[in-house]
């Protein structure tokens, strides 16, 4: 039982989309702190990335005719 749960967690953490989301968030947070990108624009960018990440499974649930 625990082995299946651990395998599922590891699969999700090592997925490319998860890694891309985390790295993109860290890059934009760094750019915001260093004032490379204005904080309001950083918020917009991170919001788009997070929404895209959480909406990834939604498109797969469309019923086929």
Domain edges within the chain: 13-55
pLDDT on residue 62: 47
> The whole model's pTM is what?
0.51
Contact in structure between 27 and 45 (CB atoms under 8 Å): no
14-26 per-residue burial string, b: 16 or more CB within 10 A, e: under 16: eeeeeeebeebbe
Q: Per-residue pLDDT tens for 41-59?
A: 877 877 887 787 777 665 5
CB atoms within 10 A of CB 48: 11
pLDDT band at 21 (very low <50, low <70, confident <90, very high): confident
């Amino acid at each position: 039982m625990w082995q299946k749960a651990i395998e599922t967690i590891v699969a999700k953490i090592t997925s490319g989309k998860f890694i891309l989301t985390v790295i993109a968030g860290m890059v934009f947070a760094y750019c915001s702190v260093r004032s490379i990108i204005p904080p309001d624009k950083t918020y917009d960018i991170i919001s788009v990335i997070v929404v895209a990440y959480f909406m990834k499974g939604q498109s797969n649930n469309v019923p086929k005719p």
